[in-house]
Structure 1
Amino acid sequence: MNLIDEKYLTASKDQDQRAVLFFRLQHPPQQEALRELLHTHPHIRVHDTIRQQLKELIKTRHPAEKLSEEQLQQKITAHAGAGSLDAYGVWVYYPWSQRLVHLLDEAEFVEMRTSRNQHKITAEEIQRLATKKIGIIGLSVGQSAALTLAMERVCGELRIADFDTLDLSNLNRLRAGVHNIGLPKTTIVAREIAELDPFLKVTCFDEGITESNIASFLTGNGRLDVLVEECDSLDIKILSRQQARAARMPVIMETSDRGMMDIERFDQEPDRPILHGKVQETLSYSSIRQFSGEERMRLVYDILDYDNISDKLKHSIGEIGRSITTWPQLASAVALGGAMVAHVCREICLDRPMPSGRYYVDPDQVF
């Protein structure tokens, strides 16, 4: 006997929803479409804080003034017009949670979302960053990086690639609720970014990166400004760098061990050896796919520079296939990696000095 009626189970066709719907009530067809949505989905939860958002907008635009409530209301009326605020801004519908949220429209939303960045990131720099495209392959450290990039609004478009779905064991380092187990990692990241900033463009490659789609990932609909490579697949690690070097595109990688950050400025050094010359230039996507387990492990040692990884990771690698199934990663290290990725991407996108090299931000050496 089933304990839960099937009608209460999430339909599989709805599990991958990640696109939001926008309704601008100044346009009668969109007003009617929203009315129909509310009629056909009576359980939608409505969140309307537009007056609070407008108050914050007015205060931010008048930082030197101490405005009373009456003065605030006068300025809101002057800004938005008298009468109901229902048609001001935009209504955003999140189908996976059945939430309808009333927000400032894009320009004012972005102004407020980035107001606390200034002057660490200037208004001119915010505008420059909005034109940038960043791609992330692999959504472990990559998830932390994507969310940090989105929070800082370091770019206007994120391309994310991962073929995997969320497992329970991933929750030691991935930020997600238990109700997301089984969902594609791309969907989880895209949803969280949409809930943070529905205007930030996110393009998902749900099958991960392959030999056949990597060109589209790197340069389709505009070339990436930075590639963040965080995948476990050795063939894709090599292929992505070879393709990025050919496109003169910078590549960065964070390994979540000893805070190791790789920066490869193929945009400035088009003849630079991949992975700082630690691997053979003759390696190819197809040859790596034929490697034995022992050959793959030797390649991992070369990439990581085995003598410089932490003692705990060395021990853990020896336990793979014995007491553990794969190498461990900790949430604290992944969070640090996401922060470093966002920092390096921002500096590269703003044309600040960020030379190629392998760098360590090792907490064990600091404390």
Structure 2
Amino acid sequence: MPGKMTELEQYIKKQQDETEVHTPVLYYLDQQKDYEALTALLAKNPNIRVYDQIYSQLRELMKIRNPTRKLTPEEYEETVREYVGDTPIYAFGVWVYYPWSERLVHIVDQDDFIELRTSRNKEKITDEEITLLKSRKIGIIGLSVGQSIALTLAMERVCGELRLADFDKVELTNMNRIRTGIHSIQVSKVIVAAREIAELDPFIKVVTYMDGATEENLDDFFTKGGNLDILVEECDGLDIKILSRVKAKALGIPVVMDTNDRGMVDVERFDLEPDRPLLHGFIPDVDLKHLQGLSDAEKLPILRPMVAIDDMSARMKYSLGQIGKTITTWPQLASSVVLGGAVVTDTCRRILLDQLKSSGRYYVDFEQIIV
């Protein structure tokens, strides 16, 4: 009958709202309380998918620890058996539960995991450098370009802690450059990034700021649990773009920014140059309160020197002139965003390892390099 909800509609209405859970649960089965908790979890939820490939990880561990030998299948068995000892194989290492996907994954413990995860980085990154990077903290404000940066930092394991700030949620229009699935529409960009990092490496600490970076929480973002080692600034808000640099300069924290056009990366070494002007002196003298709530079109005159609009590609400059006419905001291409992830990750790693000491604006412009 008209107006009466169909059976299908009733099922759809019963769907659970997306949660903001983004932290995996770790179970160490040599601890009785974890053993009991995991047993209870599996009994309560028979739909949990279990992924137990611990043996392949142990084989790989034996392989990378014996680079001069080609182990036979029998030798693999022997070395793995010796390494595991009397521990039952199901209790070796750690079980990681991802509540948002109902997956339970068996992996080696943290030290072995990091050794395996970073083994293909060597010797481009040495053992000593890998150990140093484990203690470093990087904050990212803005999770569009910032998502690609966060994931690349995590994949390369350039740090042991990531702080992610963005107030926005994923829209279908974001998915031309944000790596996620359509099930993430209207999920916080921070949550989407944090979950993917956790699924890649559950031992990287991720601290989330779903209200974005604000004047009220910047102190917390920069200093809680220890000062950031690098700020990656990728936000649209002009007031926060400036305020975050004021805070970084006061604390002596370097700032890295990618503009995703012509591969431009901006580096400010406030740690080495405490008197360096913000954004190389390109920030106009304006009232920060005036910068809040501006439309993209209204931001352009203020942004022009800050992000080198006059030096942007011809198509980007044309696009900016079309905001409010044929398009609603500035365009961002996946290729440029992914390049930004690579360039910023490389820059951050070299800063943290004291291999890069300069400030400035640099370009990795494909249209100039590949002609």
Shorter chain as denominator, the TM-score bin is over 0.9
Structure 2 residue 303 is matched with structure 1 residue 300: yes
2:329 paired residue number: 326
> Match for 2:328: what amino acid?
T
CA separation in 2, counterparts of 1:293 and 1:172?
Answer: 19
1:156 paired residue number: 160
Structure 2 residue 29 is matched with structure 1 residue 25: yes
Per-residue deviation, residues 25-81 of structure 1 (Å, max 9, x unmatched): 111111011000001011000000001110000011011111111111011111002
> Match for 1:125: what amino acid?
E
Q: In structure 2, the residue corresponding to 1:210 is in which secondary structure?
A: coil
Structure 2 residue 100 is matched with structure 1 residue 96: yes
Structure 2 residue 57 is matched with structure 1 residue 41: no
1:240 paired residue number: 244
Is the Cα contact below 8 Å between 1:238 and 1:284 reproduced in 2? Answer: no
1:317 paired residue number: 320
Q: In structure 2, the residue corresponding to 1:134 is in which secondary structure?
A: strand
Q: Which stretch has the larger CA shift, 133-142 or 75-84?
A: 75-84
CA separation in 2, counterparts of 1:8 and 1:193?
Answer: 31
TM-score norm. by structure 1 comes to: 0.96
Q: CA deviation at 1:7?
A: 6.9
> Match for 1:267: what amino acid?
D
Structural mapping, 1:76-155, within 5 Å: 76-82=80-86, 84-155=88-159
Structure 2 residue 369 is matched with structure 1 residue 360: no
Report the CA distance shift for 1:179/1:290 in structure 2 as closer, same or farther (over 3 A). Answer: closer
The CA RMSD over aligned residues, in Å, is: 1.6
Structure 2 residue 12 is matched with structure 1 residue 11: no
> Match for 2:342: what amino acid?
A
Is the Cα contact below 8 Å between 2:297 and 2:324 reproduced in 1? Answer: no
Which structure 2 segments of 5+ residues have no match?
none
State the aligned residue count: 365
CA separation in 2, counterparts of 1:302 and 1:59?
Answer: 53
Q: CA deviation at 1:354?
A: 3.3
Report the CA distance shift for 1:292/1:123 in structure 2 as closer, same or farther (over 3 A). Answer: closer
Is the Cα contact below 8 Å between 1:256 and 1:333 reproduced in 2? Answer: yes
2:253 paired residue number: 249
> Match for 1:199: what amino acid?
F
Per-residue deviation, residues 258-277 of structure 1 (Å, max 9, x unmatched): 11110001111111111111
CA separation in 1, counterparts of 2:296 and 2:325?
Answer: 15
Q: CA deviation at 1:290?
A: 7.7
Is the Cα contact below 8 Å between 2:22 and 2:194 reproduced in 1? Answer: yes
CA separation in 2, counterparts of 1:188 and 1:231?
Answer: 17
Report the CA distance shift for 1:264/1:80 in structure 2 as closer, same or farther (over 3 A). Answer: same
CA separation in 2, counterparts of 1:220 and 1:83?
Answer: 38
Report the CA distance shift for 1:267/1:107 in structure 2 as closer, same or farther (over 3 A). Answer: same
Is the Cα contact below 8 Å between 1:238 and 1:283 reproduced in 2? Answer: no
Which structure 1 segments of 5+ residues have no match?
none
Is the Cα contact below 8 Å between 1:239 and 1:284 reproduced in 2? Answer: no
> Percentage identity across aligned positions?
52
1:265 paired residue number: 269
CA separation in 1, counterparts of 2:61 and 2:12?
Answer: 44
Q: In structure 2, the residue corresponding to 1:26 is in which secondary structure?
A: coil
